[in-house]
Structure 1
Amino acid sequence: MIISKITTQKKNKSRYNIFQNVNGKDEYVFSLHEDLLIRHYIRKGMELSDEQIQDIKKEDAIYQYYTLSINYLSYRMRAKSEIAQYLKKKEATEEAIEIVLKKLEEERLVNDLQFSKAYVRTKMNTSNKGPNKIKQELIMKQIPEVYIEEALAEYTAEKEVEKIIKQMEKKLSGNRKKSFQQQLMQMKQSLMQKGFTHGAIETAAQEVDLSVDEDEEMDALRYQGEKLWNKHARKHEGFQLKQKVLGSLYQKGFQMDLIQRFIDEKEEEL
């Protein structure tokens, strides 16, 4: 084809439309970015083969995907896999994605190791997640194992224990409606789900003041005991009712002497 006209796009002044003459009329063939127009010295009257046109289109598509990636990176650091997934949604080919990622790496705009280190620091300082949870998230982002381990080195055992202690002190303070032991067990389970290691949790538990306030514990026991008493009183009475309530409260982590005190209180009401 021979280029008969070149025009600037109305909505994007950095892109140009290329036309050829067909039966005396200018017919649109393709568009490209201004940088490629200059690089290939595209001009009116220039002749382009079909192969040249395909090469320019391919180069232009990669240029557009590269520009999209730069904009995507402007908001925050990204893992390579995140950029690849983003470009796939933009219908980029595997070849184009590979070329764009290589260019971004060469320009040091993408670095999975630096991304991992920044990710660990951010999650460690702004969330209640433990190292195992953060590791899972990095694995989901297809970060190489060696990078993950190097990044997680900053999440030291001391920092992990310190973070756990703060969460324990916050969760185990104030008014309670469950036994201290039940709350402590649930707290440990929650910490495990958040990605904290068993060793760090047990170490933190030894450092936190886990003394039980007997008055608070008794208030929680009465709260649970009343519900259990009313529930079992519908089907049982006397010794069998007391045993049912006693067994249920013991399973909930209350101390036997406090349970017996509650049972004695209920007997006095009868």
Structure 2
Amino acid sequence: MKISKISTQKKNKQRYNVFVDYNGREEFAFGVHEDLLIRFNLRKGLELTDKQVREIKQQDAIYQYYTLSINYLSYRMRAKSEIAEYLKGKEATPEAIETVIHKLEEEKLVDDLQFSKAYVRTKMNTSTKGPNKIKQELILKKIPEAYVEEAMSEYSSEIEVEKVIKMLKKKFASSSRKKSFQQQLMQAKQSLIQKGFTQGAIEIASQEVDLSPDEDDEMDAVRYQGEKIWTKHARKHEGFQLKQKVMASLYQKGFKVDLINQYLDEKEED
């Protein structure tokens, strides 16, 4: 087939429409970027084989996927797996994805190790996530294990303990006075574990923070919880059995026996 005309596309002046003479009729053959127009020396009157056309189309698709990837990277660093998923969503073939990523790596635009280190630093400084959570996120992004381990060194144990201390202080400064101190502490530790902090860091931080219950607050909490439990069990029990039910429930909620007895004594007086 012979190129009969090359025209600039209206919406993108860097792309061209290539027309060929097909059985005496001029037909659109393909679109191409100007870089490929120059590389393949495309011009009016040039004879093209079907194989050459397939090659040009393939290279143009890769070029477009590469351009999309550059734009995708302009917002923030990306892992290779993120680029691959993005291009897959654009219907790129596995071969095209591999070619584009290889080119991006050669140009130092994609680097899973540097991405991982930056990711750890960002999450460490801007979120309440612990190292275990961040590590899991890197694994889900298909970062090689060696890179994950090296990147996680950015999140030192000292930094982790410091973050846990701040979070514990904040938690107990605004904590509810309707639960026992022990229950609040247990829930705080469980929350920290769910956020990805290590058990060791939590224990060290717990020892460094002055976490001691206020007796008046504890007594108020006993009364609050006790009334709810008393009302619940009073429908079925009374006397000694009722007191035993209330005592057992309050003990399970983390209250000390002497405070529970004080509350029960108050109830008897009432």
TM-score, reference length from structure 2: 0.98
Amino acid at match of 1:105: E
Q: What is aligned with 2:20?
A: 20
**Residue 185 (structure 1) aligns with:** 186
Residue 2 of structure 2: aligned partner: 2
Distance 2:141 2:220 in 1: 47
Counterpart code for 2:140: M
Q: Shift in Å at residue 26 of structure 1?
A: 1.6
User: What does residue range 124-135 of structure 1 map to in structure 2 within 5 Å?
Assistant: 124-135=124-135
CA distance in 2 between partners of 1:176 and 1:120 (Å): 36
**1:172 aligned counterpart, secondary structure:** helix
1:198 maps to 199
Residue equivalent to 1:111: 111
Q: CA deviation at 1:41?
A: 1.4
Moved more, 166-175 or 152-161: 166-175
Deviation at 1:103, TM superposition (A): 0.6
Shift of 1:25: 3.1
What residue in structure 1 maps to residue 136 of structure 2? 136
Q: Structure 1 residue 267: deviation in Å? A: 1.1
The letter for the 1-side match of 2:163 is K
The Cα shift of 1:23 comes to: 4.6
**Distance in 1, Cα, partners of 2:41 & 2:232:** 87
**Aligned counterpart, 2:262:** 261
Q: CA deviation at 1:258?
A: 0.5
Q: Which amino acid aligns with 1:98?
A: E
Deviations 1:232-255 (A, max 9, x none): 111111111111001000000001
- Superposed, 1:114-263 pairs within 5 Å as 114-174=114-174, 175-263=176-264
User: Deviation at 1:39?
Assistant: 1.6
Aligned-partner SS, 2:173:
coil
Give deviations 1:69-125, integer Å, cap 9, x for gaps: 000000000000000010011111111111111110110000000000000000000
Q: Offset at 1:183?
A: 0.7
Q: Secondary structure at the match of 1:16?
A: strand
- 1:173 shift after superposition: 2.1
CA distance in 2, matches of 1:109, 1:158: 32
* Corresponding residue SS for 2:31: strand
C-alpha separation in 2, matches of 1:199 and 1:22: 75
Q: Give 2:60's aligned residue.
A: 60
Kindly provide the amino acid, as one letter, of the partner of residue 65 in structure 2: Y
Amino acid at match of 2:63: Y
Calculate percent identity across the aligned residue pairs: 74
For 1:111 and 1:21, how far apart are their aligned partners in 2?
46
The CA deviation string for residues 170-189 of structure 1, in whole angstroms up to 9 with x for no partner, is: 11224421100011111111
Whole-angstrom CA distance in 2 between matches of 1:99 and 1:151: 26
TM-score under structure 1 length normalisation: 0.98
Q: Which consecutive unaligned segments of at least 5 residues does structure 2 have?
A: none
Alignment partners' CA distance in 1, 2:48 and 2:263 = 94
Q: Secondary structure at the match of 2:30?
A: strand
Aligned residues: 269
Amino acid at match of 1:237: E
> Which structure 1 residue ranges, 5 or more long, are not aligned?
none
Secondary structure at the residue paired with 2:251? helix
Equivalent-residue separation in structure 2 for 1:196 and 1:43 (angstroms):
63
